[in-house]
Amino acid sequence: MFNPRPAQAEILCYTKGLMGISAVPGSGKTHTLSALAANLIINNPLEDDQEILIVTLVNSAVDNFATRISSFLTQNGLLPDLGYRVRTLHGLAHDIVRERPDLVGLSDRFTIVDEREANDILNSSTQAWLRGHPILHDTYFDADIPANRVSQAEKDWPEVMVNVARSIIRTAKDRQVTPDMLQRLLAEIADPHPLLVMGSDVYTSYQQALNYRSAVDFDDLIRMALAALNADPAYLDRLRYRWPFILEDEAQDSSRLQEEILRLLTGQQGNWVRVGDPNQAIYETFTTASPQYLMNFLKEEAVTPCSLPNSGRSTESIITLANHLVDWVREFHPHIELQEALTLPHIQPTPPDDPQPNPTDNPQAIFIDQGKPLDSEGEINWVIRSVARWLPDHQDSTVAILTPRNFRGAEVVEALKKANLPYVELLQSSLTTRQTAQLLAQILRLLADPGNPTLLANCLQAMLVRHEESSDQKLYAKTLAEQLKRCVRTEEFLYAQPGQDWLDTISPQQLPMDQRDELVKYREQIIRWQQASLLPVDQLVLTIAQDLFIQPSDLALTHKIALLLDHDAGIHPDWRLLEFSQQLEAIAHNERKLAGFTDEDSGFDPEAYKGKVVVATIHKAKGLEWDRVYLMSVNNYDFPSMEDYDTYISEKWYIRNQLNLEAEAVSRLMGIIQHDPFLITLPEGDATRAARIEYCAERLRLLYVGITRARRELCITWNTGRNGRCLPAIPLTALQSFWKERSNRGSSA
Amino acid sequence: VTTRLSISNSHNEPETTLSGSFYVHGPAGCGKTTLGVTRLLSLVQQGIRADSILILVPQRTLGLPYLNAARSPSFPPGGQPAVVTLGGLGQRLIDLFWPAISHPAGFKKPRQRPDFLTLETSQYYLSRLVRPLIDQGYFQSISIDRNRLLGQILDNLNKAAGTGIALTSLADRLKAAWVGKPDQLHIYDEAQECALKFREFCLENNLLDFSLQLEVFCHHLWPSFLCRQLLTSQYRHLIYDNVEEDVPVVHDVIREWLPHFESALLILDDNGGYRSFLGADAASAQEIANLCENKIHLTNSYIAPPAMQAFSEGLSNILLREWNQPVNPSARKVFRFTHHRFATQMIHSIAGEVKRLIDQENVPAGQIAILSPYLSDALRFSLMHELDLLGVTSRSHRPSRSLRDEPAAQCLLTWACLAHPQWEFPITTQDVRGAFMLSIDNLDLVRADLLAQIVFRPKRKPNYLGSFDTITAEMQERITFRVGQRYEKIRAWLEDYRSGKELPLDIFISRLFGEVLSQPGFGFHQAFDNAAVAARLIESIRKFRWATQTTLEHEKSPVGQEYIQMVSEGILAAQSLQPYEEQLDDAVLIAPAHTFLMTNRPVTVQFWMDIGSQGWWERLFQPLTHPIVLSRRWNPAEKWTDAHEYASNQQALARLTAGLIHRCSGKIYLCTTGLNENGDEQRGPLLKAVQTLLRRLPVEKAGDHV
């Protein structure tokens, strides 16, 4: 049973209208929001065709919400699955568009391209454009690039242009501007900015490529959902009726379109509860997401503001450190533009007798001074040594190493491997996608060449180890596969004539009963798939999937694969199973991340990995917590602070005047869309500076998020970077001094 | 001769001899068609010439009960009644009056005979006209496959002909109703341009698609004195069944014709209108029915017991949001609700229950129907496979299935390609392996593959297939001599064929099927579904040959080669031929719900699969046409909004479920899955309505949750 704290109980009294909740990390907002959803279902008898709509940020939170709400409903004697719907914004947009694709000109079989596919299309469109405009870089390259580095800059240039094109396309879509409209807008200007001309042309060919595939990308999905709601007021009315209450989690990362969609769905007299922590807004760069939407909402007259200030997650020391970061930023950050990056309220520890009290405090468990500066490798070695010392005595505790970027995480993983320490990756997890595609590819390959004993055996082995990582299971699978490889005449195993069953020729000593049963089961499955092999390939894949998979993410992935293969079959009527299996292998080997279908979707529970080191980016760690946390690379490259000596990822060394071309292009695009001459003629460099402020502010919040992942122990480290010139981030220095002073005070007291 | 018809309401028993016009209506299963058939028999028994009786139906197969009665031994000798659709009647008359009407109807070659097109051959000619336009960029903003695109352009032609709305005004009508993105509007103009081009092409080449047949009949034949004289003197008695499934211009003709009949019986299904997506108009049917002198309402169902009717009523009220209507508790007795998380579990459970019903409750297999909104190959395969494992015979019925996707059609066309190497179609080992698997009884994939790898030599044209006798003894043994013997028989037949004169493709397939593949030991012998596909394929090719022979001979393209090319491009689908033919074999029927309704055949037990699926509710995706906007009752100034969409879908669902329930005498199993094949949750409107119904019924064991 949920025993709410006073602040949580106040929120649970909500019955209707607009409410905005400012929540600190670890304040139990998911739990409170789930309890609120259940309360509303229990106390507001909805019609059978009505639901509470819960919108959250990432897929991993969807399952989490559903599980909690179901549990509350069951405790109250109701059916667990009815009366609510949990969706990410993309999931919600998909629901809206899927129900009336005709309103936005889509077919009923439209597909969503994943990031990889979208990038492939964007890359090829941009490269094609650059081939026709080979001297564009002359306009932007620094005149002083050393001669021996020019070719490197030229090699790097297309990637910069792809990023510029991507930002232009995303912004245009966010503003509901189609390729045609953008071309027309540019035609109205005497001398359009060269990057906008490039972006506009690439946008046109990119969108044509999507149309050809009958596909949309994620940005399309959102803008089309909004277009569908605006196109037909009657449809909007129907959805308003269906979702009389909207609960929005992680509202600090709400984007302009998300806010617009939810505002439309809520209507004038509607019921909308938004929960978020502006200090955890870490998805803003080059998106239209902004914590400002939540902050503005909280100030609206009709909105009841509430807060969840208590957190039982961390020790008081860790809470103090996080609160000090907020205070320091707001009062002492050397750059006034960044003083609003973090906001009040402070995190408050739980009141006495709280059901989930803070862990026992231990100020010694905070470490933010590694002593001498360390280079990149040195920092990793330091962290690995530290965790290796700690781990043996803490097999029942959780630990994570958090890095600001993926590649750094990958380096940590390599080092953990070398040190032979147990670890779990939570980086760009596409392992399931690869495995699923690989397994399906293997099965199709077997169906293409059904008499091949090696393929038959390999397939068995792959199926047996799919969910089992244990070495015992691997050995068992290998043994069984080796056994099966010996069956040269596969028909005598699969379709034996009377008295010729291959299994009967093997003695029980060679093949124990359990293994024999396993082979019999496998045989039945293969026979069934072989019988299905005459079906169209998409249907064959779905048939196989029904037998193999039970996880929604696997089923969804297979469905997507089936649609891809069906599309291929339409384009290549001459393709047969072999070609389709090769196509699947390409997906598997490309490590293609089919969007929405990654490990993160099923939710990640740190508690399941006690005694192992979890490696993740700080972004991926959001919403999670560990007993001990290492925060790495807190230097002025990954956490810059607007100092003159800071460098920025988006500013390339070979571009003149340290211009951030994405920012420059997007600001001019906004000027054109909004018919704002000020923005169109903004002096070069102003947009770059504005982007720096935005980026630095977000990195401060990222640091805050990183610190608040720790329950009991926290280590923060930094490195001097590739060129050895990086310094500790300014906020880190401030925290170090604060902590040192506090410790000194404590010891002297 | 004057006949009279009297009907006892209590028993639905017809008595003879009532004169004048009658309008009989009632729900499905109350004996309306039986009454029509009895009426036919009593008329003939009273000495009325059978050939003076016109039996009009909106679709050929709905006339089957009348045809069966007329062909039965007890039917008095002499003439036969005309059991026709108005289109069919039109065809006969166009042929007859061609010299008189061809010129005024606008045909450019009035001295040459007309050619009647089927849906497929219409699509074929249309595709030739549309292809260059698509290359120019037409229809680029929508994504739809070629077959559906052509089908919808023809649909617009048919709807214009069926409603009398001018072909040139369709685009404006569709545009005026559109509320979506304005940049889609041009596709309606493009569709109209294609339709007009096709019409022009037909007029130039004496080709009559369905729309032109209907228009020529209504505008040139029916108004002509000679033709009308012929019809009114030939046919003195009318039985018009399923009036509500016909298009309004046919109702117009009947409205004028009605006074000329000595007797007329018009039969309407109260819950009908299932063909409204094809232009059927229940409202105009009602208008002509109201002209009848006598009205009879049948209420007692021969099929559905009162509890079933209560279930139907309860569900309909909920779907139509008449929530204050009480639900009769007896409804609970006739359905059972089962929930499974995954489709595989649902399939397994349905198969087990079917087996139990047959074994323990003695329900004949033919009295069980498993229905779903769509029947994908994966679902069909899994279900049939599961039933097969339990020893239950099943058959499936999917008229809208494209031939290209039918393994049996692919098999036959592969044999055709092997027999006609001069056509130079690429053949793969996998195609040959598939043909072996389906053609030789009980041949497994491994042996079929071995055989294909050894005997098929794609480069050894024209003798692609080697002899079984020449392969190694070891391989012969592995493949088995039984298989080898059958393979040799097919090979010998093909060699024999190739040594003779080339036959038209349909005749080639007919012979191969009849002389070899349907014989004992071969794959089509007991495979009813495959045999049905073969029959569809043969009919499709034959009609294609009739309609295109002249053109293709002129272009020096072999008809068979062109046909296979069109099938592989997905343009010819053979999907609308023999659509709802009645099959009485004792096998469990697996079909889309809508198809089952159109077979008009009651059963004892129904399984409704996936009731959470949105497919039970949503309309077909038709971006180029619209069944309601292109109907007479639509106000052209109005916008088609979601409120219309919602109301129309709810009504269609209420009609569909009522139609299904009235065709069930025993029990309905309502089956759901938590996740569909896509991994999405299933919470469609039918599931929600069932949930509301369950909540309104007295608490019993609510269902089985697995």
ipTM value, please give it: 0.71
Distance to chain A for B541, nearest Cα, Å: 21
Average pLDDT, chain B: 88
- The pLDDT assigned to B628 comes to 93
Whether the per-residue pLDDT at B580 is higher than 70: the answer is: no
Residue A427, chain B, CB below 8 Å: the answer is no
CA of residue A367 relative to chain centroid, distance: 29
pLDDT computed for residue A8 by the predictor: 92
Highest-confidence segment of A69-83, A97-111, B33-47, B318-332: B33-47
What 3-state DSSP class applies to A616?
strand
- For B639-674, how does the pLDDT look when each residue is reduced to its tens digit (9 = 90+)? 999 999 999 999 999 999 999 999 999 999 999 887
Instruction: Calculate how close chain A gets to B385, using CA atoms only, in Å.
Output: 8
* Alpha-carbon radius of gyration of chain B: 27
Q: What percent of chain B has pLDDT over 90?
A: 60
- pLDDT, one tens digit per residue, over A612-625 is 999 999 988 888 89
Q: In this structure, what DSSP letter does residue B501 have?
A: P
A437-451 average pLDDT score? 91
How far is A588 from A566, CA to CA, in rounded Å? 18
Rounded-to-integer distance, Cα A638 and Cα A649, Å: 8
Collapse the DSSP code of B603 into the 3-class scheme (helix H, G, I; strand E, B; otherwise coil) and give the result. Answer: strand
Contacts of residues A185-190 at CB distance under 8 Å and 24 or more positions apart, as own/partner, are A185/A672, A185/A673, A186/A672, A189/A672, A189/A680
Please tell me the distance in Å from B646's CA to the nearest CA on chain A: 9
Residue A596 has pLDDT above 50, yes or no: no
- Are residues B395 and B585 in contact, defined by beta-carbon separation less than 8 angstroms? yes
Percent of chain A with pLDDT over 70: 94
- Residue among A101, A204, A106, A561 nearest B144 (CA): A106
Strand pairing class (B6-8; B13-15):
antiparallel
Q: Under a CB-based contact definition with an 8 Å cutoff, are residues A601 and A57 in contact?
A: no
Residue type, B412: L
Residues of chain A with Cβ-Cβ distance to B478 below 8 Å are 489, 491
How many Cβ contacts (< 8 angstroms) between chains A and B?
169
Joined tokens for residue B428: 């793969």
pLDDT of residue B458: 84
| Per-residue pLDDT, B359 | 96
The percentage of residues in chain A with a pLDDT greater than 90, rounded to a whole number, is: 53
| Alpha-carbon span A137 to A143, nearest angstrom | 11
Which has more pLDDT, A100 or B4? A100
DSSP category for residue A497: P
**Two tokens at A248?**
């929005």
Task: Report phi then psi at A747, rounded to 5.
Answer: -70, -35
Residue A488 at interface with chain B, using a CB cutoff of 8 Å: no
> d(Cα B341, Cα B339) in Å, to the nearest integer?
7
Q: Pairing mode, if any, of strands A52-56 and A245-248?
A: parallel
- When scoring B146, B321, B430 by the number of chain A Cβ atoms within 10 A, the one with the most, hence best to mutate, is B430
**pLDDT for residue B374:** 85
A82, A528, A534: residue with CB nearest B437: A534
Q: How many Cα atoms are found within 13 Å in the side-chain-facing hemisphere of A717?
A: 26
Mean pLDDT of B539-557: 85
**b/e code B278-298 from CB counts within 10 Å (16+ = b):** bbbbbebbeebbeebeeebeb
How many Å from the N-terminal Cα to the C-terminal Cα in chain A?
Answer: 43
Residues in chain A: 749
**Range 83-122 of A in CB contact (< 8 A) with B:** 85, 99-110
CA nearest to B341 within chain A = A550
Nearest to A321 by CA among A287, A281, A363: A363
Asked whether the CA dihedral B371, B379, A79, A43 is positive or negative, the reply is: negative
The pLDDT-based confidence of A749 (bands split at 50, 70, 90) is low
Q: Quickly list DSSP for A231-273.
A: H-HHHHHHHHHH-SEEEESSGGG--HHHHHHHHHHH-TT-EEE
pLDDT at residue B277, as a whole number: 79
Instruction: With a cut of 70, say whether residue B15 has pLDDT above it.
Output: no
Q: How many CB atoms lie within 10 A of CB B359?
A: 12
What is the structure's pLDDT at B400?
A: 63
What's the DSSP call for residue B217? I
Give the C-alpha separation, B619 to B639, whole Å. Answer: 17
Return the higher-pLDDT residue of B17 and A748: A748
CB-based contact B636:B199 (threshold 8 Å): no
| Residue B192 three-state SS | helix
Largest CA-CA distance found in chain B, in angstroms, rounded: 81
> Residue B3 has what pLDDT?
37
Which residues sit opposite B22 in a β-bridge? B265, B294
pLDDT value of position B4: 41
d(CA B377, CA B241) in angstroms, rounded, equals: 34
pLDDT band at A602 (very low <50, low <70, confident <90, very high): very low
B279 pLDDT more than 80:
yes
Quote the DSSP letter at residue A25: T
Q: Average pLDDT for residues B472-482, to the nearest whole number? A: 93
- Residue A589 is predicted with a pLDDT of 60
Q: How far apart are CA B689 and CA B320, in angstroms?
A: 10
Q: For residue A537, which residues of chain B lie inside 8 Å, CB to CB? A: none
Helix extents (H) in A401-490: 406-418, 431-448, 453-464, 471-485
Predicted confidence at residue B515, as pLDDT, reads 95
Identity of the amino acid at B530: N
Query: Alpha-carbon distance A731 to A705, whole Å?
Result: 14
Which two structure tokens, joined as six digits, stand for B458?
A: 């794609």
Q: Residue A650: in which H helix or E strand, if any?
A: none
Q: Looking at the partner chain, which of A109, A552, A574 has a beta carbon nearest the beta carbon of B675?
A: A552
- Rounded to whole angstroms, the Cα distance separating A404 from A12 reads 36
pTM: 0.77
Q: Which of A119-133, A284-298, A319-333, B452-466 has the lowest mean pLDDT?
A: A284-298
Asked if residue B168 lies in contact with residue B196, where contact means CB atoms within 8 angstroms, the answer is yes
Query: Confidence band (pLDDT; 50, 70, 90) for B700?
Result: low
User: Quick check: B433 and A578 in contact, CB under 8 A?
Assistant: no
Q: What is the pLDDT of residues B99-132, one digit of tens each?
A: 999 999 999 999 888 999 988 889 999 999 998 9
The model's confidence at residue A591, banded by pLDDT at 50, 70 and 90, is very low
Residues 6+ apart with CB under 8 A from B221: B90, B93, B94, B97, B101, B227
Segment B161-183 shows an average pLDDT of 92
What would the pLDDT profile of A611-664 be if each residue is shown by its tens digit?
Answer: 899 999 998 888 889 999 999 999 999 999 999 888 888 888 899 988 999 999
Contact A233 B692 (CB under 8 A): no
Interatomic CA distance for residues B100 and A712, integer angstroms:
98
Q: The tokens of A504 are what?
A: 């009967």
